Every structure is written in structure tokens, then in C-alpha cells.
Amino acid sequence: MALRIRSYLPRSLYGRAALILVAPIVIIQLLVSVAFIQRHYEGVTEQMSESLVYELRLVRELHLSGERDRAKQVAERLGLKVAPAAAAPLDESHAFFDFSGRVIQRILREGLPDVVAVDINSHHREVLLRAGPPGDQIDILIERRRLSASNPHQLLVLMVFAGLLLGCIAYVFLRNQLRPIKKLADASEAFGRGQILPYRPRGAEEVRAAGAAFLQMRARIERQIEQRTLMLSGVSHDLRTPLTRLRLELSMLDPGPEVDAMESDLAEMDRMISGFLDYARGDAAEEAVLTSPLKLLQEITMRARRAGLKVELLPLSAGGEVPEVWLRPDAVTRAVENLVNNAARYGDLIEISLSWTTRKLIISIQDDGPGIPPEQRELAMKPFARLDPSRNANDGSNTGLGLAIVAEIAISHGGSLQLAQSLRLGGLRADITLAR
């Protein structure tokens, strides 16, 4: 039951704050309205009707005693209109919202023993009472305002107007208080996708403190990334200098199997250093731009085909035009090309597909290779992880950073990397999910 009620409640902070603000106002107005209506319509109407019963008894006693002229004169002085009963029956129905009408009918029947009918609908703002024994019945016409309190329309309208006015004022203040929280959430979400939005702490003290903490955290992360990139760039320069000297020295030697083996080791070391730098650098140095993912994948497919790979870009499964998204094109290109190269290393046929929803973009790469067992897929995305020989295939160029680099790029775009079995080709399926 609680879960069912929770599903109808608003999920956003603004909606919940508005509900917390509006619900008490509405409940208080309903309680006050019900209490006032019950007191005003029923209590006051009952008192006024009981007071008029005594005047009606006096008129009825004079009429029954034979003093009909005297009864008519007294009725006129009391503001009552007395006439012989008409032949047509009276209508005793009442509307469901006529609270005082039910009370009037009940009090008049209880106060006068020979009441035949009480009509509160046939005459506008008047009540028609028929009383007396058969053959000697009379109709007494009474003004409604003498029996019940007047409808408090002005008070009800004032309550509704005051509630709407207070709700509008509260809405303005609530929006101003929640706007800094919304901006903080937008800045945090953008930073998770690799974008830097201008943000200045505003609002209440707690919100300002959270905003200042976010700015400090963002600055520390950016400084750490920059320092790591500079450090690894220096390491790369220091390592490549002796590698270059070794290549020059090898080029001066006579060709032979030993020289070829050393050159192969130097090339592998160079690839390893490049892989380490790609993983450490990530995509922090690149700015996010509005990019068409379809054109990006088409360019990747054309380059892979020129390199001799069997790569096919599948037709779009989703309808409509492909949306443009904010991403780092070089980083996404590097991630997709890493997956394509991995797929080409272990399989022959590669398929790339693109799909999207309102909140995310999905790039899928499938191959017909041996795939990765489910229990090793999480390990495969960790840095420097090496799987069993069925996936490595004695390839010494594998440093264990390919999938880790792809996962880092996906996370920096507010997404993730997921590995599964390809239902179409039987090999590995890698899905890069990017936030839109």
C-alpha cells in the first residue's frame, strides 16, 4: 500500500517541496470550511428554525380555535403569509448541497405535530409549509432567511482567494530557494559528463556551503588530473629518449635475428608507453562539443575498412533523426576504435550499431570471436587485467588497458561500458552508454 501511494508522489525536490507547502494549506482550508459550514448551516439554522416554530404554533392555535381572521392578522404581523391549502401536492426534495434545507424540514416536523409537507424548492428564497388535519389544511409561506443563515459565499470566496494568493507567493519564494539547488545539480551532472559549467554558490547557507564544497572538489579533481597528465608526459619524454637512442644504435648494427628481436621489443615498449599515457590522460584535455554520433561512427567505419577490417555499420533501429549530443569526439573515437581493434584481433566480422533514448546514447560493437566468459567480464575492464589465453591469443601487444580506457571515457561522459554476449554473431558485445 505504501509503495502504491509512493508511486503517485512527485519525484523531484521542487514537486515534493510544493506538495509539503500546498497540502497543509488545502487541508486547513477544508477543515475550516467543513467546521464553519456545519456550525453556520446546521447549528444556526437549527436555532432560527426553533425560534420560528413558536410563532407558527401561535398561528396554528388561533386557526384551529376558529379565530381564522385573528390568525391571519397575527401571521401578517409576524411576516407570514397564510392561505387555504392548494390542491397540488408539495415537493419535499432537496439538493445534496442544501445543508440547511434538511435541518429546516426536520425542525418544522418535530416542532409542529400536524405538518403535512415542507417545500423548500418551489418558491425562490421562501419555504412553503402545509399543516392541519384533512379538510382544514392551510399553507404558510415563510421567507427562507428567517429559517436559515444566508450562504457565506463571500467568506468562502475570500478563503479561496487568500489560499491562491498565499500559494502564488509561496511558489515564488520556493522557486527562488530551489533554483540554486537545481543549478548545483546541473553543474555536478555536467562535470560528470566532462563539461565545466559556470556556477556561483547562492541561496541559503546550507546550499552555499554545498556549492562551495562542490567548487573546491571540482578544482581539486581538475588540478589532480592536470598534475597527473604533466607527470606522465614527462615520464613519456624521459622514456622515449633512451628508446630513440636504442633504435639509432640498432640501426647501425648489421641485420640479424637478434637485431630484429630487439626492434620488436622496442616497438612493444613504445606501444605500452602509449597505452599507459592514453589511460592516464583520458579525455580531460579535450572540450566537449555538439557532435553527430552517426557521422562519427561513419568516419570510424570508413577508416577501419581502409585498414582492411571487415566492419559494418548497421542501419538505425530507432526512428527519427539522430540527435546531436555533447561529447568529446576524439575521446569517443578512441574508445570506439579500441573496441573495433580488439574485436578485429579476436574475430573476423565486426558490426557497429547506434541507438538512443531520451536520456542516453548507446554505441554497440559486436564481433564473432571467442568472447569473454561472464565471470571475467568485470575483470576485463580493470586496468592491466589479462584474461585467459583464449582471449589473449598469444598477442604480446596487449597491455590490458584497452577496455579500461574505454570504460574511463564512458564514465567521463556520464555513462558506462557493459560487456555481454553477441546474439547476432556469437562473440563479444560491448555497449558504450553515453549520457545525453
pLDDT range class, residue 287, cuts 50, 70, 90? confident
Convert the pLDDT of each residue in 99-127 to its tens digit.
677 888 888 888 888 888 888 887 878 88
Give the N- to C-terminal CA distance of the chain in Å, as an integer.
35
Convert the pLDDT of each residue in 412-429 to its tens digit.
887 889 999 988 888 899
CATH topology for 13-153 is Beta-Lactamase (3.30.450)
- Bridge partners, 326 (sequence order): 290
pLDDT over 70 at 392, yes or no: no
pLDDT range class, residue 300, cuts 50, 70, 90? very high
Mean pLDDT of the 381-404 span: 60
What residues does each domain of the chain span?
Answer: 13-153, 200-281, 285-388+398-435
Pick the CATH number of 285-388+398-435 from 3.30.460.20, 3.40.50.360, 3.40.630.10, 3.30.565.10: 3.30.565.10
pLDDT at position 52: 87
Burial of 291 (0-12, 13-18, 19+ CB in 10 A): middle
pLDDT at position 430: 92
Convert the pLDDT of each residue in 64-88 to its tens digit.
887 888 888 888 888 888 888 887 8
d(CA 281, CA 267): 21
**CATH topology identical between 13-153 and 200-281:** no
pLDDT range class, residue 176, cuts 50, 70, 90? confident
Average pLDDT along the chain? 80
pLDDT over 50 at 349, yes or no: yes
Least confident of 111-115, 135-139, 148-152, 290-294: 148-152
pLDDT at position 280: 60
Specify the DSSP element, H or E, that contains 322: none
Nearest to 86 by CA among 126, 122, 125, 49: 122
**100 and 106 Cβ atoms separated by less than 8 Å:** no
Mean pLDDT of the 46-71 span: 85
C-alpha cell at 324: 546531436
pLDDT at position 390: 47
Residue 85 to residues 76, 115, 168: CA-CA distances in angstroms? 17, 12, 56
pLDDT over 80 at 312, yes or no: yes
pLDDT at position 282: 57
Domain 200-281 class, CATH top level: mainly alpha
Convert the pLDDT of each residue in 201-260 to its tens digit.
887 788 888 889 988 998 888 787 777 777 767 777 777 778 888 888 887 877 888 878
pLDDT at position 182: 85
